[in-house]
Amino acid sequence: MEMISEPDDKQFMIKFGAVWLGFFLYMFIATDYLFIFAIFLIVGFPFIVYMLIKKRELYSDGNVLKIKKGKKLISIPIENIQNIEKFTVEPGGYRLNFKTKTVFGNYVLFLPRKASMFKKHEAYKSFLHKIHT
């Protein structure tokens, strides 16, 4: 079983979200409730929650894709993968779409594992090859 995505960074997202929300909440109150800071709160909070829920850690194990959910790995057959497309909101991110609904919904988000700054890891490349053949 090989990891094909970057390691889970939920702790970072939680810390980033707390700083993000804290800063804009402070600015909203400190500027006598200036509306522009409320927009950052309204847009930022759902986005951070969305990224925490949909972004996953992926593993390839033969003809099975294993997706981390909490401390467990959920197995999904490769035949259930419809396609992989770029996720434009997060640089370098991808969206893995399923043919049928899974416990994760119709798709998951992930960052592919990298060997270096500009080169994708061999495990990720072989996973893509399995999907497209």
Q: H-helix or E-strand containing 52?
A: helix 35-54
Please report, as a single letter, which amino acid is at residue 121. Answer: H
Tens digit of each residue's pLDDT (9 = 90 or more) over 54-96: 888 999 988 899 999 888 999 999 999 999 999 887 778 899 9
Question: What pLDDT band is residue 133 in, cutting at 50, 70 and 90?
Answer: low
Which CATH number does the domain 2-131 belong to among 2.40.30, 3.40.50, 2.30.29, 2.30.30?
Answer: 2.30.29
- Residue 14: half-sphere exposure toward Cβ, Cα within 13 Å: 5
DSSP structure string for 7-46: PP-HHHHHHHHHHHHHHHHHHHHHTTS-HHHHHHHHHHHH
Q: Domain map of the chain by residue range?
A: 2-131
User: Higher confidence at residue 85 or residue 131?
Assistant: 85
Mean pLDDT of 10-29: 85
